[in-house]
Amino acid sequence: MNPSLEGPTLRLVTIPVSHYCEKARWALDRLQVDYVEEAHAPLFSRLATWQLGAGAQVPVLVTQTEVVADSTRILQYSDHVFASEHKLYPSDPDLRREVEELEELFDTRLGVSLRCWVYFHLLPQRELTLKMWCEGTPTLEQRLSRTLFPLTRQLITQALDVNAESETTAFSETRNIFEMVSQRLSDGRRYLVGNTFTAADLTFAALAAPVLMPKEYGVPLLEFEELPPKMAVRVAELQAMPAAAYALRLFREERNNIQPTSANLAGG
């Protein structure tokens, strides 16, 4: 346990399967922050975050003194506040700027596009979507999610503009980011910036995870064999790229070797 964390434990409000929530969860685990994860299914997560004054999105980190919303803000806050040998942002200003630019690129383009694309293929698959949404959440929320599924699906479709046209654009954007990362790694470097693992590496790996399905993810993901056929073909295309091998290596080497310090408050 980090000695700077005496007193009440921190709370991380999540939708467990969310790749943005995995980004925050991975960072907290890496920094050896003692926290509990408050897991919610979609729709119910909004009730929790609105009560905190954090809007509708997760993840949200609740500390002893403040509420920190947004995965990038959580990484920056945690890296600054909690002393650790596993810092995510370089001290060198130029390297830090490069890390932050890549993190922003992945947050706003990869994470958003991949989420839209995955939902286009999975929302028509009721049982697969419920399996994905309900992993690690309270039993009552799992039951209500089944009843409220048509409403939740409609709200997400509208909020994320999920349709055939956006699916095409979203996959193209995702593939372009994978190609950019693959090209950046073509000189043999192990990390995107400098010689150490940074927030840029963590963000790419976490946000790419829905199509990579790493075993080290914070909660179980769908298996490749469960995917709808058209989705599986595209997923295989992305998985064959060097960027995918790099992200999976990061999960093995940088995620799996860090002991989680969280508990789960999902309960029954």
22: domain CATH number is 3.40.30.10
CA atoms within 13 A on the CB side of 70: 9
Q: Beta 67-69 vs 35-39: how paired, if at all?
A: unpaired
Do residue 130 and residue 249 come from a single domain? yes
CA distance 94 to 88: 14
- If one counts the domains in the chain, the total is 2
Residue 53 confidence (pLDDT): 85
Residue 262 confidence (pLDDT): 60
Do residue 241 and residue 204 come from a single domain? yes
Q: Which long-range contacts (CB under 8 A, 24 or more apart) does 220-223 make?
A: 220/135, 221/17, 221/132, 222/128, 222/131, 222/132
Using 70 as the pLDDT threshold, list the residues of the chain that sit under it. Answer: 1-8, 257-268
Do residue 122 and residue 14 come from a single domain? no
Q: What is the pLDDT of residues 42-65, one digit of tens each?
A: 999 999 998 898 787 899 999 989
Residue 265 confidence (pLDDT): 65
* CATH code at position 240: 1.20.1050
Do residue 62 and residue 107 come from a single domain? no
Do residue 159 and residue 226 come from a single domain? yes
Do residue 10 and residue 138 come from a single domain? no
Do residue 74 and residue 147 come from a single domain? no
Do residue 18 and residue 149 come from a single domain? no
Residue 205 confidence (pLDDT): 98
Q: What is the pLDDT of residues 185-228, one digit of tens each?
A: 999 999 999 999 999 999 999 999 999 999 999 999 999 999 99
Domain of residue 146 covers: 93-255
Supply the pTM of this predicted model: 0.92
